[in-house]
């Protein structure tokens, strides 16, 4: 599929896709004779994996590290060291998610306070 279809399916901008390509996170599987990027379902899955890391605050280097582990596991699925590294990454993601949940609770509290203020209720 061409890049436009990929942007629609992933809700990512052309700029983001090109940035991630420049950063070495993803590459189109092929190009047309006119040099248009062509992506496969596997490429789209990789993009969605990367997209899911963004809200958790992963840096490009951290994303690359995870993708390297995923790629290596595809070649050597029984590697105990790779599985251990993936477990470490998963635990880090869990901690990041917990922090994000706490931040969301604070944001909800803030929105509630603003709602009370708009009704004329003084802050506690």
> For 3-118, CATH number?
1.10.1660.10
CA-based end-to-end distance of the chain = 56
User: 123: pLDDT confidence band, cut at 50, 70 and 90?
Assistant: confident
Is residue 29 pLDDT above 80, yes or no? yes
The C-alpha atoms of residue 95 and residue 93 are separated, in whole angstroms, by: 5
Tens digits of residue pLDDT in 48-104: 999 999 999 999 999 999 999 999 999 999 999 999 999 999 999 999 999 999 999
- Output the pTM of the full model: 0.84
> Cβ atoms within 10 A of the Cβ of 20, count?
19
The pLDDT value recorded for residue 57 is 95
């Amino acid at each position: 599929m061409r890049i436009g279809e990929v942007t629609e399916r992933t809700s990512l901008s052309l700029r983001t896709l090109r940035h991630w390509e420049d950063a070495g996170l993803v590459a189109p599987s092929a190009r047309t004779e006119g040099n248009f990027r062509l992506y496969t379902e596997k490429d789209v899955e990789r993009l969605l994996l990367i997209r899911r890391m963004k809200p958790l605050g992963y840096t490009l280097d951290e994303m690359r590290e995870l993708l390297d582990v995923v790629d290596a596991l595809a070649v050597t699925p029984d590697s105990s060291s790779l599985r251990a590294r993936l477990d470490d990454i998963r635990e880090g993601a869990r901690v990041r998610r917990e922090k994000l949940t706490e931040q969301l609770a604070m944001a909800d509290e803030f929105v509630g306070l603003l709602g009370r203020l708009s009704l004329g209720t003084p802050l506690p």
